[in-house]
Amino acid sequence: MRYGVGIDTGGTYTDAVIYEIENRKVIASNKAQTTRDDLTVGILNALDGLDIGLVRQAEVICLSTTLATNACVENRGARAKLLFIGVDPKAVAWAGGAAGLDDPELILYAPEEGTDAAFWDAFVAEHEEWFADAQGLGIVELNVDRTHAAYEKAARKAVQAKYKMPVICGYELSNEINSIKRGASALLNGRLIPVLGEFLEAIHTAMEERKIKAPIAIMRSDGTLMSERFTGEHPVETILCGPAASVVGSSAVLDEQNAVIVDMGGTTTDIALVRDGAPVKVNRGIRVGRWHTAVRGLMVHTLGLGGDSAVRYQRKNKQLYVDSVRVMPLCAAAMRWPEITEYLQKLQDDFRKHSLPLHEFFYLVKDISQEAHYNQTERAFCTALKKGPVPYEEAAKLLGIEPYTLHVHLDRLEKEGIIMRCGLTSTDIMHLKGDFNVFSKEAALLGADFVAKSVGKTVEELCDWVYNEVKKKLYFYIAEMLLYEQRPELKKTGLDTQTASMLEWGWEMSQKGMGKHIGLTFQTPFHLIGVGAPIHIFLPDVAKALGTECIIPKEANVVNAVGAVACNISASHTVEILPDDGGFLVNSENGSTVIKELEDAIEFVWPIAEKIAREDAVSRGAQEPLTIRRDVKPVMAVTGYGGELFMRCEVTATAMGVLKLT
Mapped to the 3 state alphabet, what secondary structure does 179-229 carry? HHHHHHHHHHHHHHHHHHHHHHHHHHHHHHHCCCCCCEEEECCCCCEEEHH
Q: pLDDT band for position 363 (50/70/90)?
A: very high
Instruction: Note the pLDDT tens digit of each residue in 62-97.
Output: 888 888 777 777 777 778 899 999 999 998 888 888
Any domain includes 550: no
pLDDT computed for residue 469 by the predictor? 96
Q: Does some domain include residue 639?
A: yes
Flag whether 603 is in a domain: yes
**Residue at 401 is within a domain:** yes
Q: When comparing pLDDT for 165 and 641, which is higher?
A: 165
Task: Please state the rounded mean pLDDT for residues 335-364.
Answer: 93
Domain count, the chain: 3
**45/303 Cα distance (integer angstroms):** 28
Q: What percent of the chain is modeled with pLDDT above 90?
A: 36
- pLDDT bin (cut points 50, 70, 90) of residue 370 is confident
Query: Are residues 68 and 231 in contact, defined by beta-carbon separation less than 8 angstroms?
Result: no
Which residues contact residue 400 at a Cβ distance below 8 angstroms, ignoring those fewer than 6 apart? none
Q: What amino acid occupies position 468? A: N
Question: Is the distance from CB of 627 to CB of 655 less than 8 angstroms?
Answer: yes
Residue 590's pLDDT is 59
- What pLDDT, in 10s, does the model give residues 218-276? 887 777 777 676 666 667 777 778 778 888 888 778 878 899 999 898 888 889 888 88
Q: What is the mean pLDDT of residues 652-661?
A: 75
Predicted pLDDT of residue 190: 82
Cβ atoms within 10 Å of 171's Cβ, excluding its own: 20
For residues 103 and 515, what is the distance between their CA atoms, to the nearest angstrom?
46
User: So what's the pLDDT on residue 23?
Assistant: 78
Q: Which of 356, 348, 352 is nearest to 315 (CA)?
A: 356
Q: CA 18, CA 6: separation in Å to the nearest integer?
A: 7
Report pLDDT digits (tens) over 23-36: 778 889 999 989 87
User: Is 534 strand, coil or helix?
Assistant: coil
Start-to-end Cα distance in the chain: 14
Query: Is 181 part of any domain?
Result: yes
In terms of C-beta density within 10 A (0-12 exposed, 13-18 middle, 19 or more buried), how is residue 316 classed? Answer: exposed
315 or 141, which is more confident?
Answer: 141
Question: Which of 183, 206, 192 has its CA nearest to residue 106?
Answer: 183
**Buried-exposed string 61-89: b where 16+ CB fall within 10 A, e elsewhere:** bbbbbbbbbbbbbbbbbbbbbbbbbbbee
Instruction: Answer whether residue 175 is part of any domain.
Output: yes
pTM for this model (two decimals): 0.72
* Domain stops at, among 141, 173, 191: 191
Amino acid at 614: R
Compute the distance between CA of residue 118 and CA of residue 120 in angstroms, rounded to an integer. Answer: 6
Q: What is the pLDDT of residues 458-497, one digit of tens each?
A: 999 999 999 999 999 999 999 998 988 888 778 777 788 8
Domain that holds residue 602: 568-657
Are 114 and 125 a contacting pair, CB within 8 Å? no
Residue that terminates a domain, selected from 169, 191, 213: 191
- Residue-wise DSSP of 579-643: EETTEEEEEETTEEEEESSHHHHHHHHHHHHHHHHHHHHHHTTB-SSPEEEEEEEEEEEE-TTS-
- Picking from 639, 638, 616, the residue whose alpha carbon sits closest to that of residue 626 is 616
pLDDT level of residue 589 (50, 70, 90 thresholds) = low
Of the listed ranges 84-93, 113-122, 431-440, the one predicted with least confidence: 113-122
Residue 473 lies in a domain: no
Mean per-residue pLDDT, 307-321: 91
Q: Please report whether residue 130 resides in a domain.
A: yes
Q: What is the pLDDT of residue 620?
A: 62
Q: Whole-angstrom Cα distance, residue 279 to residue 199?
A: 27
pLDDT at 317: 81
The pLDDT of residue 270: 86
* Single residue among 155, 172, 191 that ends a domain in this structure: 191
State the pLDDT confidence band at 498, using cuts at 50, 70 and 90.
confident
The mean-pLDDT minimum among 20-24, 432-436, 539-543 falls in: 20-24
What pLDDT is stored for residue 473 in this prediction? 94
**pLDDT averaged over the chain?**
86
- Please determine, for residue 173, whether its predicted confidence score (pLDDT) is greater than 80: no
pLDDT at 659: 62
Measure the CA–CA gap between 66 and 265, rounded to whole angstroms.
Answer: 9
pLDDT bracket for residue 428 (50, 70, 90): very high
CATH number at residue 401: 1.10.10
